[in-house]
């Protein structure tokens, strides 16, 4: 009888709307659950019953009520709330965090990124599931290998020996060159002009104060100013060294430039005998040799023609000629600029022996010049720019630690002319510039503007930091910061049908498909917001509206049952 079916139809409405109230209630209850995704109820009709067929062969059908067709998940992203925990993460976009149950090894997935560290330094959620990620290679700083537990146990930053030092100092162009022949001695401040310090690390992380000494040498052939530099450490830091005694590293005194000293005009007088002819002239074939000891040269006076004297120096290619009459004087200028003042007087004419006085002005006066620029030197042009850098690597034979080699860089040399070609000016470092980037020479006091070096002491994990790519960095007590892990994100073909297992966790289902694990920001994956948590995406206003609609539907279906009951009551009263 159709009237009874009406009761069941009303009952199906009450049942379906009752379940819908449960879904809405669950949404409202989880309004503050991290990463919660609200659900929507979709209703569908129940297969209808055919009550007759018309002449047009059209079936007359009556429905049998309502049922819940599907309960779908709203995957819209919830708002992000900032936190102060470095291990809190929120996903911007697609993806789920992958979590491993340490008891069963089963993977589950979540949008709730409230992670903490357990006693073993594993990154876990509140239920003890371990976050999954990729280890980061320390050389390339990129994720590598297979997905595994994110753990920070037994982490330390091993010490790294210093391998390079960059010095930016200002040298005073007014410094006076030291006496020619001064030998560098790091223990004697008068053997160099200026000193600065830098700490270098050995392979065990021990710091060693290292001195850099600078000595102004003079000008090279092009007029550039040459400075020698040296490095020294306490001998107690070196194998076989003496504590308390500064010991040069590298060439030491042997690394000094070679300076040709200045030569001033030197006078020297000597006398000798000669022969006078009948006319009073110096006779031909008269040969007298004079030694000018003060200038270290020997001069030979010869006459091949009467009255003509040729002076030849012991220095190859140096000579000069003068013409004399009886009792005459002559200044003979040699080819190197030396002036020979010759004065003679005959005792008497006619072959008597006479005397000759020769006064030499010595070699022409010259300024000191840097003949050979040393292997540890820096050269400056007329504007104070660095035009040449000679800085071979220094090897430190540390006591108790492995030897280390340190390269010094005083800046990008500019080079100057053919003497210092640009390509060869920078000490083999292969970088050229203006010569004003680091070490320069100016008229002013010495100053160390900047001193940088690599290397560091050992350290231990101090704190963690996360970036938008999901890479977790470790900050160590020695100031080093390096990537440790990059969290993995999972993407499902249909993440709307994952199984809820409670505690904000989801698991793979047959309908969801197999997850793909990848890196944040790659392959359609979302990015990571560190120091943030994703909130529930439940919209309370929308849920209250749905609650009103469901309530009205429930009331309407109850009216259907009440009306059907009244009809049955009327039927029962037909027979009395």
**pLDDT of 180:** 81
Between CA 150 and CA 473 the distance in angstroms is: 12
pLDDT confidence band for 294 (50 / 70 / 90): very low
**pLDDT of 85:** 92
Q: Please compute the mean of the pLDDT values over residues 500-514 and round it to a whole number.
A: 91
User: Other CB atoms closer than 10 Å to residue 307's CB: what's the count?
Assistant: 18
**pLDDT of 318:** 79
Res 352 pLDDT > 50: no
Who has greater pLDDT, 53 or 156?
156
pLDDT confidence band for 282 (50 / 70 / 90): low
Between CA 48 and CA 368 the distance in angstroms is: 117
**pLDDT of 278:** 58
CA dihedral 455, 456, 462, 464 (to 10 degrees): 0
- DSSP helix, strand, coil percent of the chain (3-state; round to 5): 15, 45, 45
Tens-digit pLDDT profile for residues 108-132: 999 999 999 999 999 999 999 999 9
CATH number of this structure's domain 164-261+368-453: 2.60.98.20
Res 95 pLDDT > 70: yes
**pLDDT of 324:** 66
Between CA 576 and CA 574 the distance in angstroms is: 7
Joined tokens for residue 473: 């960095």
Between CA 178 and CA 184 the distance in angstroms is: 10
Res 322 pLDDT > 90: no
**pLDDT of 191:** 93
The full length of the chain comes to 576
Q: Please compute the mean of the pLDDT values over residues 534-562 and round it to a whole number.
A: 92
**pLDDT of 40:** 92
Model pTM score: 0.64
CA geometry: angle at 336 spanning 293 and 296, to 5°? 15
**pLDDT of 549:** 92
Average pLDDT taken over every residue of the chain: 84
Lowest mean pLDDT segment, chosen from 174-188, 292-306, 374-388: 292-306
Contact 138, 112 (CB under 8 A): no
Cα–Cα distances in Å, from 131 out to 134, 233, 461, 527?
10, 49, 19, 16
Contact 465, 486 (CB under 8 A): no
**pLDDT of 353:** 46
Q: Please compute the mean of the pLDDT values over residues 286-296 and round it to a whole number.
A: 51
Between CA 477 and CA 322 the distance in angstroms is: 85
Res 43 pLDDT > 80: yes
pLDDT confidence band for 507 (50 / 70 / 90): very high
Q: What percent of the chain has pLDDT over 70?
A: 81
| H or E element in which residue 6 lies | helix 2-29
pLDDT confidence band for 2 (50 / 70 / 90): low
**pLDDT of 263:** 57
**pLDDT of 293:** 46
- Do the bridges between strand 287-292 and strand 329-333 make them parallel or antiparallel, or are there none, so unpaired? unpaired
| H or E element in which residue 551 lies | helix 540-572
Lowest mean pLDDT segment, chosen from 72-81, 152-161, 536-545: 152-161
Contact 440, 170 (CB under 8 A): yes
Q: What is the largest CA-CA distance in the chain?
A: 196
Contact 346, 326 (CB under 8 A): yes
Q: Is 344 helix (H, G, I), strand (E, B) or coil?
A: strand
Name the residue ranges covered by the structural domains of the chain: 2-76+538-572, 80-157+459-534, 164-261+368-453, 268-360
């Amino acid at each position: 009888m159709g009237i009874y079916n009406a009761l069941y139809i009303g009952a199906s409405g009450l049942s379906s709307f009752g379940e819908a109230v449960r879904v809405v209630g669950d949404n409202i209850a989880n309004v503050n659950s991290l990463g919660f995704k609200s659900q929507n109820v979709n209703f569908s009709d129940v297969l209808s019953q055919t009550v007759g067929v018309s002449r047009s062969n059209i079936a007359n059908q009556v429905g049998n009520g309502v049922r819940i067709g599907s309960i779908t998940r709203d995957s819209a992203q919830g708002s992000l709330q900032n936190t102060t925990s470095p291990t809190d993460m929120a996903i911007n976009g697609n993806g789920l965090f992958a979590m491993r149950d340490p008891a069963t090894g089963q993977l589950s997935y979540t949008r709730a990124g409230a992670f903490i560290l357990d006693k073993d330094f594993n990154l876990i959620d509140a239920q003890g599931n371990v976050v999954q990620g990729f280890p980061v290679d320390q050389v390339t700083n990129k994720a590598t290998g297979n997905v595994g537990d994110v753990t920070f146990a037994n982490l330390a930053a091993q010490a790294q020996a210093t391998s390079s030092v960059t010095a930016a100092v200002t040298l005073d162009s007014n410094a006076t060159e030291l006496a020619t022949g001064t030998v560098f001695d790091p223990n004697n401040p008068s053997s160099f002009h200026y000193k600065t310090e830098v700490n270098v690390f050995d392979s065990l992380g021990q710091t060693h104060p290292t001195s850099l000494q600078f000595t102004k040498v003079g000008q090279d052939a092009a007029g550039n100013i040459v400075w020698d530099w040296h490095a020294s450490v306490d001998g107690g830091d070196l194998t076989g060294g003496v504590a308390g005694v500064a010991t040069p590293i590298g060439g030491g005194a042997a690394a000094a430039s070679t300076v040709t000293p200045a030569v001033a005009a030197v006078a020297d007088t000597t006398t000798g005998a000669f022969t006078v002819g009948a006319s009073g002239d110096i006779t031909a074939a008269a040969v007298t040799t004079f030694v000018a000891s003060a200038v270290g040269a020997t001069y030979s006076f010869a006459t091949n023609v009467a009255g003509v004297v040729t002076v030849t120096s012991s220095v190859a290619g140096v000579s000069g000629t003068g013409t004399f009459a009886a009792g005459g004087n002559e200044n003979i200028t040699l080819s190197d600029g030396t002036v020979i003042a010759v004065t003679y007087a005959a005792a008497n004419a006619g072959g008597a022996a006479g005397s000759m006085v020769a006064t030499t002005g010595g070699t022409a006066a010259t300024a000191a010049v840097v003949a050979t620029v040393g292997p540890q030197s820096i050269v400056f042009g007329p504007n104070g720019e660095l035009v040449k850098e000679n800085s071979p690597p220094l090897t430190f034979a540390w006591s108790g630690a492995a030897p280390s080699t340190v390269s010094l860089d005083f800046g990008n040399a500019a080079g100057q002319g053919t003497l210092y070609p640009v390509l060869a000016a920078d000490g083999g470092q292969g970088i050229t510039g203006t010569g004003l980037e680091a070490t320069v020479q100016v008229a002013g006091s010495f100053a160390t503007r900047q001193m940088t070096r690599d290397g560091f002491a050992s350290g231990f994990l101090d704190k963690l930091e996360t970036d938008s790519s999901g890479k977790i960095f470790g900050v160590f007590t020695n100031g080093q910061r390096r990537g440790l892990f990059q969290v993995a994100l999972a993407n499902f073909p249909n993440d709307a049908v994952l199984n809820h297992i409670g505690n904000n966790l989801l698991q793979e289902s047959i309908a969801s498909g197999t997850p793909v694990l990848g890196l944040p920001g790659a392959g359609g994956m979302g990015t990571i917001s560190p120091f943030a948590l994703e909130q529930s995406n439940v919209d309370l206003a929308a849920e209250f509206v749905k609650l009103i609609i469901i309530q009205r539907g429930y009331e309407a279906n109850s009216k259907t049952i009440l009306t059907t009951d009244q009809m049955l009551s009327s039927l029962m009263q037909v027979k009395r």
